[in-house]
C-alpha cells in the first residue's frame, strides 16, 4: 500500500519523549513494520523540521526521514490543489493551502493519507482523497 504520512502523524511518532500510544502513531509503526511504501512531501518535511528546537534532534530526525521518498506536484497538480481548496471552501469545509497541497499530492500519486488532522476527513467526503484506516 502507498501511504503519504501527514505531519500530524510524524509529530505524534517522532517528537514525544516516550513511545506514543496514539492510534495514528501505532498505525505508522505497523505500516513501517509491514514494509508498505511510505512517502513525505517537501512541505511535510519542512513542517516537521521547522518546529524542532534542538540541533542534535534535527539531525537525528533528518537522518530517519531520509529513508522516505518525497512526492512532488507538477504545475497541473498545483492548479488542481487550488481547485480542491476552492471547491472545499464553497462547501464550507476548512482547507488551508498546505492541506490542499498534501491532499492533492496523495490523490495524484495514488496514495492513502495517514493523518490525525480531522480537516482531511471532511475534505475526503468531497474529493478523491483516500484516508488510511487507523
Total domains, the chain: 1
Nearest to 121 by CA among 101, 99, 105: 99
Q: Do 68 and 38 contact (CB within 8 A), yes or no?
A: yes
Q: What is the pLDDT of residue 99?
A: 97
**Are residues 127 and 89 in contact, defined by beta-carbon separation less than 8 angstroms?**
no
**Which domain, by its residues, includes 28?**
2-131
Torsion-angle region of 35 (φ positive above 0: left; ψ -120 to 50: alpha; else: beta): left
Which CATH number fits the domain that encloses residue 70?
3.40.50.1010
Quickly tell me which residue has 493519507 as its cell.
113
Going by pLDDT thresholds of 50, 70 and 90, the confidence category of residue 20 is confident
Look at residues 105, 132, 122, 120 and name the one whose alpha carbon lies nearest to residue 44: 105
pLDDT at 18: 65
114 φ, ψ (degrees, to nearest 5): -100, 115
- Tell me the per-residue pLDDT of 76-115, one tens digit each, with 9 for 90 and over: 999 999 999 999 999 999 899 999 999 999 999 999 999 9
Question: pLDDT tens, 32-76?
Answer: 999 999 999 999 999 999 988 888 888 999 999 999 999 999 999
Chain position carrying cell 492548479: 79
The distance between the two most distant Cα atoms of the chain, rounded to a whole number of Å, is 44
Amino acid at each position: 500500500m502507498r501511504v503519504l504520512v501527514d505531519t500530524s502523524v510524524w509529530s505524534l511518532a517522532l517528537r514525544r519523549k516516550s513511545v506514543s500510544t496514539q492510534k495514528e502513531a501505532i498505525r505508522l509503526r505497523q505500516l513501517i513494520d509491514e514494509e508498505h511504501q511510505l512517502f513525505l512531501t517537501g512541505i511535510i518535511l519542512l513542517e516537521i523540521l521547522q518546529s524542532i528546537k534542538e540541533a542534535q534532534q534535527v539531525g537525528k530526525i533528518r537522518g530517519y526521514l531520509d529513508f522516505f521518498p518525497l512526492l512532488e506536484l507538477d504545475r497541473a497538480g498545483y492548479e488542481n490543489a487550488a481547485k480542491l481548496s476552492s471547491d472545499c471552501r464553497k462547501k464550507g469545509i476548512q482547507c488551508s493551502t498546505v492541506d490542499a497541497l498534501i491532499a492533492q499530492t496523495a490523490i495524484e500519486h495514488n496514495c492513502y493519507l495517514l493523518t490525525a488532522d480531522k480537516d482531511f476527513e471532511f475534505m475526503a467526503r468531497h474529493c478523491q482523497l483516500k484516508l488510511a484506516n487507523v
